[in-house]
Amino acid sequence: MNVITAVSSKGGVTKTTLVSNLSALLADSGYRVLAIDADNTQPALSSHYPIVEQAPHGLIKLIKDRCLGPEVISKTSIDGLDIVVSDDRSDTLSEYILHEADGRYRIRQALTTIREEDRYDFVMIDTRGAKGAVLDAAMLATDIFLAPVSPDIMSAKEFYRGTVERYREIKESAKFLNILLGPLHVLFSRVDRTVDAKDVADSFRAMTEGQPDIRLLETQVPTSTVYKAAASAQMPVHLYEPTSNTKRASARDTMMSVLEELFAIHNEYDNLFQVPEISPRDGDAK
């Protein structure tokens, strides 16, 4: 089981869009996927897809009782995609986590049970676009970090000061418990034709040269209205735009490319995370 978490200390960078679409694509490819909405105060992921079986509890019980039983796992309309919704709009969890000695490790501990029982192939966590204890707890449960960044140099610098610094602090603290966190994968997202994303990518690579824990993905997610339109229709974007009539890659191909690249990188790490291969056209198999 691999845990993929979208992180960014900045808001509005397409984290929820990526988590909802990548988790649905994995589920449609035949994997068993659990999404966790750890953006407790703005739980957009929780309502991204229709819920067909609503569990009585959600993120609060997951963290307080280290529980990942049926009482916290709801079923979405997408076959193979379950979700732990956030039920903590008033943000009681940040305080709670800070006051419990093992608070930041609670999500990780809860995931241990489903890992041992082999209930899911992937867990995808959406997080808040701001620093905080719930984000720390999600980071400490993560195998594969995905960090969407706007393709401009100011955003890249801000990302470096905010997200990268926090990630490294968390990674250092985890070492004392023999927890090795994987690298941070940066994905330029909402790339439009007016920016020279290649220049920004070059600057970013220069800025992070010699730092193997930060890797910029080759794949970029272009600006496209289909992401919002698919979200409004409560549909995964790979079904909303499976093919493209223009030169631009379809949203389905873009999402597939993100997953393939993430997995290819992870297979380089001596199968540390044992990521299964995903075949490009599995999506319609079900």
Ligand X SMILES: Nc1ncnc2c1ncn2[C@@H]1O[C@H](COP(=O)(O)OP(=O)(O)OP(=O)(O)O)[C@@H](O)[C@H]1O
- What residues line the site for ligand X (CB under 6 A)? 11-17, 39, 42, 44, 129, 189-190, 221, 223-224, 227-228, 231
Interface with Mg ion by CB under 5 A: which range of 8-16, 151-159, 186-194, 218-226? 8-16
CA R_g for the chain: 18
Nearer to ligand X, 239 or 275 (CB): 239
Nearer to Mg ion, 15 or 252 (CB): 15
Q: Is 86 in the site for Mg ion (CB under 5 A)?
A: no
Q: Which does residue 40 touch among ligand X, Mg ion, none (CB within 5 to 8 A, set by kind)?
A: none
User: How far does Cα 181 stand from its chain's mean position?
Assistant: 15
**What token pair was written down for 248?**
């631009």
CB of 19 to ligand X, least distance (A): 8
The 3-class secondary structure across the chain, one letter per residue, is CEEEEECCCCCCCCHHHHHHHHHHHHHHCCCCEEEEEECCCCCCHHHCCCEEECCCCCHHHHHHHCCCCCCCCEEECCCCEEEECCCCCCCCHHHHHHHCCCHHHHHHHHHHHHHHCCCCCEEEEEECCCCCHHHHHHHCCCCEEEEEECCCHHHHHHHHHHHHHHHHHHHHHHHCCCCCCCCEEEEEEEECCCCCHHHHHHHHHHHCCCCCCEEEEEEEEECCCHHHHHHHCCCCHHHHCCCCCCCCCCHHHHHHHHHHHHHHHHHHCCCCCCCCCCCCCHHHCC
Taking the complex as a whole, the smallest distance from the CB of residue 33 to ligand X amounts, in Å, to 18
52-81 positions binding Mg ion, by CB under 5 A:
none
Question: What character string, x for contact with Mg ion (CB under 5 A) and - otherwise, covers 11-50?
Answer: ----xx---------------------------x------
- In the complex, the smallest distance separating the C-beta of residue 211 from ligand X, rounded to whole angstroms, is 23
Q: Give me the least distance between CB of 229 and ligand X, in Å please.
A: 8
How far apart, in whole angstroms, are the C-alpha atoms of residue 266 and residue 125?
A: 18
Nearer to Mg ion, 44 or 114 (CB): 44
Q: Which residue is nearest to Mg ion (CB)?
A: 16
Say whether residue 142 binds Mg ion (CB under 5 A): no
Rounded to whole angstroms, how far apart are CA atoms 134 and 160?
20
Q: How far is the CB of 216 from ligand X (least distance, A)?
A: 17
Least distance to ligand X, CB of residue 276, Å? 26
CB of 225 to ligand X, least distance (A): 7
Q: Considering beta carbons, is residue 142 or 189 the nearer one to ligand X?
A: 189
Tokens 């397409």 sit on residue: 14
Closer to ligand X by Cβ: residue 40 or 224: 224
Nearer CB in complex with ligand X: 190/215: 190
Binder of residue 1, out of Mg ion, ligand X, none (CB less than 5 to 8 A by kind): none
Q: What are the residues binding Mg ion (CB under 5 A)?
A: 15-16, 44
